[in-house]
Every structure is written in C-alpha cells, then in structure tokens.
Amino acid sequence: MVLPNQLTVLRIILSPIFLFFFLSENLLFKQISIGIFIIAALTDWYDGWLARKFNYITNWGKFWDPLADKILTAAAFIGFVVLGKLPLWMIIIILLRDFIITILRAYADYKGVSFPTSNYAKWKTFIQMAFLYYLLVIYTALNTPQVFNGHEKIFAVLMDRNFIYWTMFFITVITFHSGVTYIIKNRHVILRLFRYET
C-alpha cells in the first residue's frame, strides 16, 4: 500500500481515538484530543500532496480518501452532539448529505466518470470546517483552567447557545441546499454513472 493510502487509513484510525479523548472526563485527554484532530487533518493535506507530486493515485485512494475526511469531521460533530452543544437533527442532515455526495463522487472517480465539485459546495465545506475548528478550539480552551480562569465572560459570549444554534442552523441549511442543487445539477452524470454500471 502506497504512503498516501497509509495516511488515509491512519486518518480513519485516528477518528475514533480523537472521539474517545474528546469525550473523556480527563481534562488532559480533552486537550490532547485537539492535537489528535489536527494531526489527522494534516494527513489529509499531506497524502493529497504526495499523491499529486509522485502520482500515487489509486482507485482505492480515490474512494477512501474523501470518505476518511468525512469520518473525521463526523467524529467531531458527533462529539459535540454527545456533549449537548449541537442539535442531533442538524448533524444527521449534515452527515447524510456529506456522506451521500462523497460516496457518489468517490464512486464516480473510481469508475472514471467526471463528477466535479461546485464552488458552492467548496464554500459550504470551508464554512462548515471553519465553525468546527472554532468549536474545537473554544471548547478545548474552555476546559483548560489556565486559559479559562479569569476570562469567564469572554467564553460565555464565545459559546453563547443562541449563537451556536443559529450558526449551526445556517450551516445545516446551506449544507442541505448545496446537496440538493449538486444532485440536480449533476443528475445527468449520476444517470450516466448508473448506466455505465449496468
């Protein structure tokens, strides 16, 4: 197995490890969890760079690399649901949309069918990931006494429930809408993919 694919496997393995540390009652484990998440996220950039630079592109990698990204982000979203910071119904919509589109695109790449990503979808991903990193950093800081103590009012604003809810609601709406428009726009590609299969 080439190195980029090994990094993809590592990212999948690190996802449940991150979740375990993130949900731990041990404050040190919570702090370590963000480091695990960042390392896992960096493997995504590095394996993509290696694949392009040295042409380590395989059908296996085409399918599993984007799926590994969604597994990692799903672990973080699920963690915040368990902690009561994000509504479950929003996360279900986001994860269903992302996994359906990702599997469709990965399968299309595997079959050699062009299934391009729209700019709208790229912006959706950017906003989604930016907010996820925001939550991870703020929540980790919140559970670091050296950072939190003396700054309680600032963190109360940063983790305001209404702000978190309505920001997540906005992200859920654009995630769902981008998925629907993506399928409608690429419906001919999807039909061709299934005709190709048959």
pLDDT category at 197 given cuts 50, 70, 90 is low
Q: Give the pLDDT score at 97.
A: 93
| pLDDT of 63 above 80 | no
Q: Would you state the pLDDT for residue 179? A: 92
Helices then strands, counting H and E runs in the chain, come out as 9, 0
Higher pLDDT, 25 or 190: 25
Topology of domain 3-197 in CATH is: Four Helix Bundle (Hemerythrin (Met), subunit A) (1.20.120)
Residue 153 DSSP SS3? helix
List % helix, strand, coil for the chain (3-state, nearest 5): 85, 0, 15
Indicate the pLDDT class of residue 112, thresholds 50, 70 and 90.
confident
Which residue type does 65 have? D
Instruction: Please state, in angstroms and rounded to a whole number, the distance separating the CA atoms of residues 180 and 172.
Output: 12
Dihedral angle at the C-alpha atoms of 88, 143, 166, 181, nearest 10 degrees?
Answer: -60
Lowest mean pLDDT among 43-57, 79-93, 131-145: 43-57
Q: Given this model, what pLDDT does residue 56 score?
A: 66
Better-predicted residue by pLDDT, 121 or 131: 131
Using DSSP, state whether 2 is helix, strand or coil.
coil
With a cut of 60, say whether residue 130 has pLDDT above it. yes
Whether pLDDT at 74 is above 60: yes
Report residue 1's pLDDT band, with 50, 70 and 90 as the boundaries: low
pLDDT computed for residue 21 by the predictor: 95
What average pLDDT score do residues 54-77 get? 81
Average pLDDT over residues 144-172: 91
Please give the residue that has the higher pLDDT: either 54 or 162.
162
pLDDT number for residue 117: 74
Domain boundaries, the chain: 3-197
Mean pLDDT, all residues of the chain: 86
pLDDT of residue 60: 67
pLDDT value at position 76? 95
